[in-house]
Amino acid sequence: MRVLVVNAGSSTLKLRVVDDHDTVVARADLPAVEQIPPADLARELDGLAPYDAVGHRVVHGGREFLQPVLVEGDVRDRIEALTPLAPLHQPRALAALDAVGQAVPGLPAVACFDTAFHATLPPEASVYAVPRDWREHLGVRRYGFHGLSHAYASRRAVELGADPRHVVVCHLGAGASLCAVREGRSVDTTMGFTPLEGLVMATRSGTVDPGAVLWLVTQAGLLPDEVTDALEHRSGLLGLAGTADMREVIARAGDGDGEAGLALGAYHHRLRSSIAAMVASLGGLDTLVFTGGVGENAPAVRAAAAGGLHHLGVAYDPEANASAVPDADITAPGSRARVLVIAAREDVEIARGVRQTVT
């Protein structure tokens, strides 16, 4: 089965056709779906043919969608009802679902959710210590994100010979999160109710004391929308160093730039401490995986993370790390845990979900 994978972002619509061997046999990177005339989209999709089914990346499945689902009946409406939980992401996925469905009618369409992999979080890892009515009626809990990437990377690590019992996946890109995986199941993760929680990211703050957020609104006079915009789009590396580009941060820090050095230090501090937290949730560490744009392409970040985890039995090979191209093993001799660099392949995970759903 050849699967058309649709990934709708804020500025691009990424289309990939994945065959049975997980090879991308056709691709197109288009402007955001709302900027593409229907006739142009239909022409682009026709140029990518043939394919037998469509898989859509959807960020939020809430408490309802815990696995890929065929989009039929009222499924679209139920996905749309989750928009308040992901107001920036859900409308884009729905717009792409509608546009592609109109351009290539009749093909089975499957929604694959970034939150679904974390449905296996134990209650103690998913709960917030907040009032019962918030939890039960408002759905306030830790959902986790980047599940498609974490699922693929952890499975690929096992294919490369990793022990599946204690795997920590570091998805490091513009957005970043960690996942503790035991026997293919997510047992802890750094993102929570929203993708704001956890690590320092390109423009997102990561974890901030909720009391500070409340103070900004109730005492400093900022509007909720102002705070939301700042935490989502003007924080993280950008807020600390004035740039969201990790390559520039690393270069400037190496040249002695104080702001860049602080940004890189904060990034590494949060990354190392959070990896240790994931190890604690697992009760051990057999494999440490780096994936995503930064995880795959920034040897300095991998070195700072792995190099600060000697007490957990992690040792990496500096030469292998410096030249690593996914999928690579950068483990040093004598290390108790393997250290791997794995290409992010959400497209493969989506195609896998589609095949499991429609066959």
Q: Is 207 helix (H, G, I), strand (E, B) or coil?
A: coil
169 neighbors 154 (Cβ within 8 angstroms) = yes
In the chain, the amino acid numbered 141 is: R
Cβ contacts of 352 within 8 Å, gap of 6 or more: none
Distance between CA atoms of 70 and 76, rounded to whole angstroms?
10
The first and second tokens of residue 210, run together, are 């909720």
Distance between CA atoms of 52 and 29, rounded to whole angstroms?
20
**How do beta strands 53-58 and 3-8 pair?**
parallel
Residue from 20, 98, 114, 255 carrying the catalytic annotation:
114
Residue 121: CB atoms within 10 Å: 22
In the chain, the amino acid numbered 125 is: A
Cβ contacts of 153 within 8 Å, gap of 6 or more: 169, 171, 289, 291, 342, 344
Residue with tokens 């859509």: 56
User: DSSP code of 85?
Assistant: G
HSE on the CB side for 204, CA within 13 Å?
A: 18
Residue 114 known to be catalytic: yes
User: DSSP code of 228?
Assistant: H
Beta strands across the sheet bearing 12-18: 24-31, 12-18, 3-8, 53-58, 109-113, 69-70
Residues annotated catalytic, as ranges: 114
